[in-house]
Amino acid sequence: MLQVIQEINGVTGYPICNEMTCPTMSAGNLTYTWLVDGKAARISAPKFINRVEKWIVSKIHDPVMFPTDPVTATPITFGYTEQANGEAPSGQPQQQAAGDPSQDWIGKSSGFPPTFYKDCQGIMKQMFRCYAHLYHGHWENPFWHINKHEVLNMCFVHFVTVAKYYKLVSDKELEPMQPLIDIYTKQEKIPPEALAGHWAQHSSQS
C-alpha cells in the first residue's frame, strides 16, 4: 500500500506523497512527530514513512529481537528508546539487562527477549500511523481513483483485527481511525473476539 503513494508520477516527476503535498505526517487534525536529536520534530510524511520502514526492517532483522536460531539461553537484549509521550523512536540502541530467568514473559519459551511484546506494540503503532495518513491524506487520490480502495480496506481490517486481538495498539492511538473501525464493527468485519482482546485476556488469566 505504501508503494502506491511512493511511485514517481510520470507527469509531475514526484510521488503522490511528497514534501509539498504532505509537509507533515498528519491524520486529520493530528500530526505525528519524530525524534530528531532527542527532540520531537515535525517532518514530512514521506520522510516519516521512510524512517518507519527502515526502523521496522532493522527490528525484524535483529537476531536478538527476533531470534531464528534454536533456543540455547535467555538472550541479553537491547531496545530502542521511545519517549513517554508516544514519539517515534530515535533509533539509538539502549543496553538493557538480560531477563530474569525466574520471570516469565510472552515469547520466552521460543527465545524471544523480555521486550518482545513491547517491541511488537511499537512496530504496530508506527504501522497504524502510516495507515492513518494513507486514509486521511490519500484515500481519494490515489486509492479511490485507481480502484485500490477495497484492497486498502481489506489490509486495514486485517491489521485492526490483529491489533485488537493481541492488544498491540491502544484505543487512544486508534482514535484517528475510530469512525471507520466503528463501521467495520457494525458490518461484523472485525470478529467479536478480536474486539474484546480475547487473546490478551486469556494470556493475562493463564
Distance between CA atoms of residues 96 and 98, nearest Å: 7
138 is in an annotated binding site: yes
Calpha distance 92→94 (Å, rounded) = 7
Cell output for 24: 507533515
Q: Is 17 annotated as a binding-site member?
A: yes
- Is 133 annotated among the ligand-binding residues? yes
| Residue of 197, 189, 198 whose CA lies nearest to 154 | 189
Report yes or no: 78 and 95 within 8 Å, Cβ to Cβ. Answer: yes
Given a contact cutoff of 8 angstroms between Cβ atoms, the answer to whether 99 and 114 are in contact is yes
Complete DSSP assignment for 114-134 = TTHHHHHHHHHHHHHHHHHHH
39's enclosing H/E stretch is strand 39-41
Tell whether 155 is in a known binding site: no
**Known binding residues:** 17, 22, 133, 138
Binding site, annotated residues for Zn(2+): 17, 22, 133, 138
